[in-house]
Structure 1
Amino acid sequence: MASILPQLPGIPQPGAPAARWQFDPRRHARSLYWRGWGITQIADEFALHGVANDNGKPIPRATIESWKQRDKWDEAPSIARIEDGLEIRLLTLIAKEKKTSGDLVEMDALSRQIESLARVRRYQEPGGHAGDLNEKVNNRNAGGPRKKAKKNHFTADQAAELKRIFLEGLYDYQQLWWDNASRRTRMILKSRQIGATYYFAFEALIDAIESGRNQIFLSASKAQAHQFRSYIVSFAKLVGVALTGDPMLITSDLRPAEEAAAELHFLGTNFRTAQGRHGNFFFDEFFWVHSFEELNKVASGMATHKKWRKTYFSTPSTIAHPAYPYWTGERRNRRRRKEERVDIDVSHAALALGSEGPDRIWRHIVTVLDAEAGGCDLFDIDELRDEYAPDEFANLFLCEFVDDTLSAFRFNDMVACGCDSLVEWTDFDLEAARPYGNRPVWAGYDPQESENGDNAALVICAPPTSEGGKFRILERHQLRGLDFEQQAEFIRSVLSRYSCTYLGIDAKGVGAGVYQLLAKLGAMPGCSVAKIEYSLELKAQMIMKAQNVIRRGRLAFDASYLDIVSAFVSIKKTLTTSGRNVTFKAGRGGNDGHADLAWSTMHILMNEPLDGKARPTGTLEILE
């Protein structure tokens, strides 16, 4: 039977010291037994993962057999077994960094099942009544009206259970963050997708419950900040608390009733909305925000009093970003005398275990390799190395900053295109059946090339509604491993929600098949499908047009779309193989990186003339 231990919260990974994990082998042995594992199989599984008793010795089969007899596992009611399975599945879904809509639906259903079983338990206990099964049924035997449950309130038992769940599920590097949670300032450079947002959302909730301190979440956009809120709401459901409100007010039995509720604020980077708030603040992806200096003055002002904590965490962007001098310590050295300046070692070797610098900032670097060594088994690193070019892999997963001096598009120009779409785009709702109503959209597609294994990308854009107006990127999708028919069907499916009037497709290689399927009569009603075949001249024209649009501030996308920024910055000017001509490379597989989203966007921008004064009305076909 294949191992399922890593799916359970708090299970140590092979090679991880068991003493670092707050782990109850008796509880997990019971869970495995209820799911059909034999006693010998459980003992072998514990031995494989290094699970030991208090003396550091492997847990023998006889011990597990004695647990079974003493705790009467075979006599446990069905409801207890069902609750155990529901809890494990719900925790597994919560731990996923990227959740699908199906995951969220399943989480909601599991939470309701847990609540239903809790009512059944109350009904079965002495004194249980019909009102326990159905909250709408009045208890006629009660001496008076039932006490209404407090909104957004945690009992002492609920708080203790939530903290237990949290601590049992930590990876080693998350445990290190928890051990340093009381530090005044933390600055963390991290790999993508290692569960940082998940962790800090949980840490903040625990602190709000226990200390009553306000928690402020600052992200590149309101949509990104709401990821914190989504996690926190899901965490509270684990112990039967339904959190509501924005800002969210939280109370608990751990603090005097007369104390003010802890406030949880979820903010985008519009710093004007952040002024006047005070509390611990968490600055998500701070290396990717626009106007960092100005925003950081407001953000750090939120935590001026010594009781507040400041936490910055992000994947690296470029050395040109205004936050980079804060990371290196150079920002502190400005305007200081030579003898007052400090040198801070920000190498991976110095910060892999975390270190407080002379500026009293605790810094930590967590690469994907560090995450794997710390128990995170969510990655196939060999596959990632295969999928990404070396320089891109180093930036995304090894925490290395990019030097964008050779890029065709400057990082700071791209970041300035980011906006808070939830606040600013009142005519767009991604969750609606028709997100942009019946207004026209343009789309660009860069197909997957099977011979070099790069990604395919589809970008959907609202074109300018007036001369000199903005191109707004509404959606972007990347896909991999599909043949040309599957790619064409994917495009049709996504664009069926919009009134698409233009679609530009790179028609070389696999793209030729995609183009033929979509360009045939009736395949895309009302849409002009443009055939694009690359040449040196065409690439230069596309880059020139995009540079003009971006410099003039005519491109907009939600600030959480960090992959759009990375895609454009990865395009570099280079010489052709002959050395006689200049071209632009990236996103074509091999060692050139991936810029599929950028090329797809440029397929859209080129549908407007270079001068931007008029939009074409006919079909566009560009041949080499």
Structure 2
Amino acid sequence: MTVQAHRYRRHKAETRAPMQCRARVDAAFTGQGDRPHSLRGVHGNAMHLLPAHAGETELTAAYLQRCARSLYWRGWPLNEIAAELDVKYQTVASWKRRGSWDDASPRQIIEDRIEAKIASYLDRPDFNEGHMKRVDFLTRQMERMARIAKFERTGKEGDLNPKIAARNDEAAQAKRDDKRRNFLSRENFQALLDDFHEKNFAYQAGWWAQRDQRTRKILKSRQIGATWYFAREALAKIAEDVLAGRQPRNQIFLSASKRQAMKFKRELVSWVKRVCDVDLAGDPIMLDFGGLTGPPSSSEAVGQECDGEPLALDQVGLYPISTNSNTAQGESGDFYFDEFFWVHGFATLRKVAAAMATHKIYKRTYFSTPSTKTHEAYAFWSGEEWNQGKAKAKQREFDCSHANLAGGKIMPDGSWCQVVTLADAIAGGLGQLVDIDELREESSEDEFRNLYGCEFVDDAASSFPWHRLAPARVDSFYRWRDFKPALLDIPGGRPFGDAPVWLGYDPNKQGRDDAALAIVAAPDQPGVSKLRCLDKYRLNDRDFQGQADFIRDIAARYNVTDISIDTTGHGRAVFELVKRWFPTVRAIEYSVATKTALVIKGQSLFRANRVEFDTGWTDVMQAFMAIRPTLTGSGKGVTYTASRNGQIGHADIAWAFLHAFSNEPLDVAAAAEAAAGDQFIVSD
């Protein structure tokens, strides 16, 4: 073949190839390779990608540029693209450079192919149901590509997966927050902190101002809201830390008994429920910080609703525990030691408690009403313990007087101490809740100073001194597994089952509303087993019929085998009413001999360590310590009396327990022997 013929054949092939390529492009872009098409219908064009109000020339240029890009992404070389579209090679190269075609992501290339494929189906003259299903499938792929594009911009997994997005939207988040246990949002914490400051009295605001003291010791009057305050302070400190983006600390509530410790929990639960409508649960209460964010950064515009960075906070808990040395250890955090002047074995327990706050970041708070100067905690309060063992030159004086500590002061041992009397609390805003003049009238001067003036009791003359009563105190929550007081909240519930109990009742004397009912578990072995003081009630504002009805309601919840009632004054009427449904009720006629027998029996039981009552019952301790021997009116004999005050009455609850104790004879051993002898004779 001649050279000339070869050149002719090559020219014919090159002339035919562009025509075939153009047909392939038309078919790929429109599905109508043999039919002319308008510029606006080409490629199923996404017209929003073209210039707005573009003329025919601009549309032609935009269309050609897009077609060129699509062909390039399919692997066509630039020279073939230029020949196919009948444009200059340099023009296509310029489009490639300015459009950064080589920098396209796989997603963009796939989107282009999907769009072209959809256009090819839509432009088919024989479009049918099968084509429609393919278009539907390809359209879903375009939606997926759109989600991938959004994910590339935001990095949020919810943009990639619709199910995750649905789980993370505001409605779903709110629903989960409702179900999450012990979860409080930033808004909840802020609301709690605002309510906390709003409800505090002035003297409580002073306690808050000293919250960062390493050690606080507070000697306080009764009924000034200390337990209520410190329960809220603990959670308020957590709220303050969370809102500031800091790691909170555990909060530990240490009380004389588990029941007393649970009072902290009740205060917390009711407060959070009232303010946030969130139910805290668990023992301990472990707070959920998941999903919380820190405060907005300072660079964010003021007034914008912006969240800070997510907080990575370790879980913290609110721990209500008792002073049982076996349980009051193991946790670390800020602790609050409630009624530490009424705890038996304080010196040992303080060491256990102090170990919880060994690290200097933890804070220690001791608060209590005064008991006696013979209590172990008095040396801790007065500085005697701190000075002990130090050289005389290094010893310091601790001025613990009210005059010195009314406003709070740092003592030589580094602790911040304060004495808050009832008068101080009234000056700080409590006057709207209490009438100090009424309380003065109801109490003797000595008792008023002890209960409301923060003065310690001298129990030297008491018939039941502190050291005699202290061994009887137990943590009933752990010790008495057969007693379930929660069943009292259930209609018909029997907290002690069918085990026998004795009831002792001291009615209101002289027409005053200071009656008391005591419930004592009968000993399994008379003269040997312990008498457990299960429960107690103060019956105020009830006439004799109301008192009798209350006794009957309580008796219906227990297996009562004995009821004893002081028949002095209104007691006679109560006795007669009780006798109608409990014929064997015992009447106790008060006299010098009777009261002496009651006190001697009580002293005998405490001396033999045969009495147990809950360690949180400080009112029972005070009532027994208030009973003292005094001369009779003639001055020729000794009787036992207790001056009345608003908290312990005429030691009514102590007398009620003594009435119940009296069901066991003074000489119980001799009585048991006699009973055994009688039984032997009968069997013979």
TM-score (norm 2): 0.66
Q: Is the CA contact (8 Å cut-off) linking 1:187 and 1:364 kept in structure 2? A: yes
Alpha-carbon offset, residue 155 of structure 1:
2.3
CA distances 1:138-177 after superposition (whole Å, capped 9, x unpaired): x999734734335323322221121011111110000000
Q: Tell me the secondary structure at the aligned position of residue 153 of structure 1.
A: coil
Alpha-carbon offset, residue 257 of structure 1:
4.1
The letter of the residue matching 1:353 is G
State how far apart, in whole Å, the 1-side matches of 2:542 and 2:504 are.
Answer: 18
1:483 is the counterpart of 2:483: no
Taking CA–CA contacts closer than 8 Å with sequence separation of 6 or more, which of the two structures ends up with the larger relative contact order? 1
Moved more, 242-251 or 542-551: 242-251
Gaps of 5+ in 1: 1-138, 618-624
State how far apart, in whole Å, the 2-side matches of 1:144 and 1:305 are.
Answer: 42
State how far apart, in whole Å, the 2-side matches of 1:177 and 1:333 are.
Answer: 26
Tell me what 2:418 maps to.
364
Alpha-carbon offset, residue 478 of structure 1:
1.5
State how far apart, in whole Å, the 1-side matches of 2:237 and 2:645 are.
Answer: 46
Please provide the CA RMSD for this pair. 2.4
Map 1:259-274 onto structure 2 (within 5 A). Answer: 259-274=313-328
Q: Is the CA contact (8 Å cut-off) linking 1:214 and 1:278 kept in structure 2? A: yes
State how far apart, in whole Å, the 2-side matches of 1:516 and 1:235 are.
Answer: 45
The letter of the residue matching 1:215 is Q
The letter of the residue matching 1:463 is A
Tell me what 1:423 maps to.
478
State how far apart, in whole Å, the 1-side matches of 2:420 and 2:662 are.
Answer: 40
1:610 is the counterpart of 2:666: yes
Map 1:185-584 onto structure 2 (within 5 A). Answer: 185-209=215-239, 210=241, 211-237=247-273, 238-252=275-289, 253=292, 257-376=311-430, 377-432=432-487, 433-450=493-510, 453=512, 455-467=514-526, 468-520=528-580, 523-524=581-582, 528-584=584-640
Map 1:97-176 onto structure 2 (within 5 A). Answer: 143-144=166-167, 146-147=172-173, 148-149=176-177, 150-176=180-206
Q: Is the CA contact (8 Å cut-off) linking 1:570 and 1:593 kept in structure 2? A: no
Q: Is the CA contact (8 Å cut-off) linking 2:630 and 2:638 kept in structure 1? A: yes
The change in CA–CA distance for 1:476 and 1:165 in structure 2 (over 3 A counts) is same
Moved more, 398-407 or 534-543: 534-543
State how far apart, in whole Å, the 2-side matches of 1:142 and 1:301 are.
Answer: 47
Alpha-carbon offset, residue 399 of structure 1:
1.1
Alpha-carbon offset, residue 216 of structure 1:
0.9
Q: Tell me the secondary structure at the aligned position of residue 450 of structure 1.
A: helix
CA distances 1:227-278 after superposition (whole Å, capped 9, x unpaired): 1111212222222433222122224436664332112211111011122221
State how far apart, in whole Å, the 2-side matches of 1:250 and 1:302 are.
Answer: 19
State how far apart, in whole Å, the 2-side matches of 1:319 and 1:552 are.
Answer: 24
The change in CA–CA distance for 1:441 and 1:593 in structure 2 (over 3 A counts) is closer
Q: Tell me the secondary structure at the aligned position of residue 311 of structure 1.
A: strand
State how far apart, in whole Å, the 2-side matches of 1:466 and 1:151 are.
Answer: 47
Q: Is the CA contact (8 Å cut-off) linking 1:445 and 1:506 kept in structure 2? A: yes
The letter of the residue matching 1:435 is P
Q: Is the CA contact (8 Å cut-off) linking 1:229 and 1:266 kept in structure 2? A: yes
The letter of the residue matching 2:625 is V
State how far apart, in whole Å, the 2-side matches of 1:141 and 1:214 are.
Answer: 34
Q: Tell me the secondary structure at the aligned position of residue 583 of structure 1.
A: strand
Q: Is the CA contact (8 Å cut-off) linking 1:315 and 1:399 kept in structure 2? A: yes
Q: Is the CA contact (8 Å cut-off) linking 1:506 and 1:533 kept in structure 2? A: yes
The letter of the residue matching 2:280 is L
CA distances 1:415-452 after superposition (whole Å, capped 9, x unpaired): 3212111222121122312111122110111111135x
The structure having more radius of gyration, on CA atoms, is 2
Alpha-carbon offset, residue 475 of structure 1:
1.4
Q: Tell me the secondary structure at the aligned position of residue 326 of structure 2.
A: helix
Moved more, 576-585 or 253-262: 253-262
Q: Tell me the secondary structure at the aligned position of residue 166 of structure 2.
A: coil
State how far apart, in whole Å, the 2-side matches of 1:443 and 1:232 are.
Answer: 34
Alpha-carbon offset, residue 207 of structure 1:
1.9
State how far apart, in whole Å, the 1-side matches of 2:293 and 2:165 are.
Answer: 29
Q: Tell me the secondary structure at the aligned position of residue 367 of structure 2.
A: strand
Alpha-carbon offset, residue 349 of structure 1:
1.1
Q: Is the CA contact (8 Å cut-off) linking 1:587 and 1:596 kept in structure 2? A: no
CA distances 1:479-534 after superposition (whole Å, capped 9, x unpaired): 234332232222222222212111111112221222122223xx22xx62111112
1:177 is the counterpart of 2:207: yes
Q: Tell me the secondary structure at the aligned position of residue 551 of structure 2.
A: helix
TM-score (norm 1): 0.72
State how far apart, in whole Å, the 1-side matches of 2:452 and 2:419 are.
Answer: 11
Q: Is the CA contact (8 Å cut-off) linking 1:389 and 1:594 kept in structure 2? A: no
Alpha-carbon offset, residue 338 of structure 1:
1.1
Q: 1:599 aligns with which of 655, 662, 672?
A: 655
State how far apart, in whole Å, the 2-side matches of 1:151 and 1:600 are.
Answer: 44
State how far apart, in whole Å, the 2-side matches of 1:152 and 1:511 are.
Answer: 50
State how far apart, in whole Å, the 2-side matches of 1:233 and 1:594 are.
Answer: 35
Alpha-carbon offset, residue 472 of structure 1:
1.0
Q: Is the CA contact (8 Å cut-off) linking 1:545 and 1:605 kept in structure 2? A: yes
- Over the matched positions of the two proteins, sequence identity in percent amounts to 45
Q: Is the CA contact (8 Å cut-off) linking 1:454 and 1:594 kept in structure 2? A: no
Alpha-carbon offset, residue 197 of structure 1:
0.8
Alpha-carbon offset, residue 193 of structure 1:
1.4
Alpha-carbon offset, residue 390 of structure 1:
2.5
Whose helix proportion is higher, 1 or 2? 2
Q: Is the CA contact (8 Å cut-off) linking 2:369 and 2:451 kept in structure 1? A: yes
State how far apart, in whole Å, the 1-side matches of 2:237 and 2:515 are.
Answer: 43
State how far apart, in whole Å, the 2-side matches of 1:583 and 1:456 are.
Answer: 21
Map 1:12-23 onto structure 2 (within 5 A). Answer: none
The change in CA–CA distance for 1:318 and 1:454 in structure 2 (over 3 A counts) is farther
State how far apart, in whole Å, the 1-side matches of 2:518 and 2:166 are.
Answer: 63
Q: Tell me the secondary structure at the aligned position of residue 329 of structure 2.
A: coil
The letter of the residue matching 1:382 is D
State how far apart, in whole Å, the 2-side matches of 1:269 and 1:454 are.
Answer: 34
Q: Tell me the secondary structure at the aligned position of residue 174 of structure 1.
A: helix
Q: Is the CA contact (8 Å cut-off) linking 2:443 and 2:643 kept in structure 1? A: no
Gaps of 5+ in 2: 1-161, 242-246, 295-309, 488-492, 676-684
- Report the number of matched residues: 474
Alpha-carbon offset, residue 363 of structure 1:
0.9
Q: Is the CA contact (8 Å cut-off) linking 2:624 and 2:654 kept in structure 1? A: yes
State how far apart, in whole Å, the 2-side matches of 1:332 and 1:529 are.
Answer: 55
State how far apart, in whole Å, the 2-side matches of 1:570 and 1:491 are.
Answer: 25
State how far apart, in whole Å, the 1-side matches of 2:644 and 2:267 are.
Answer: 36
The letter of the residue matching 2:283 is D
The letter of the residue matching 2:191 is E
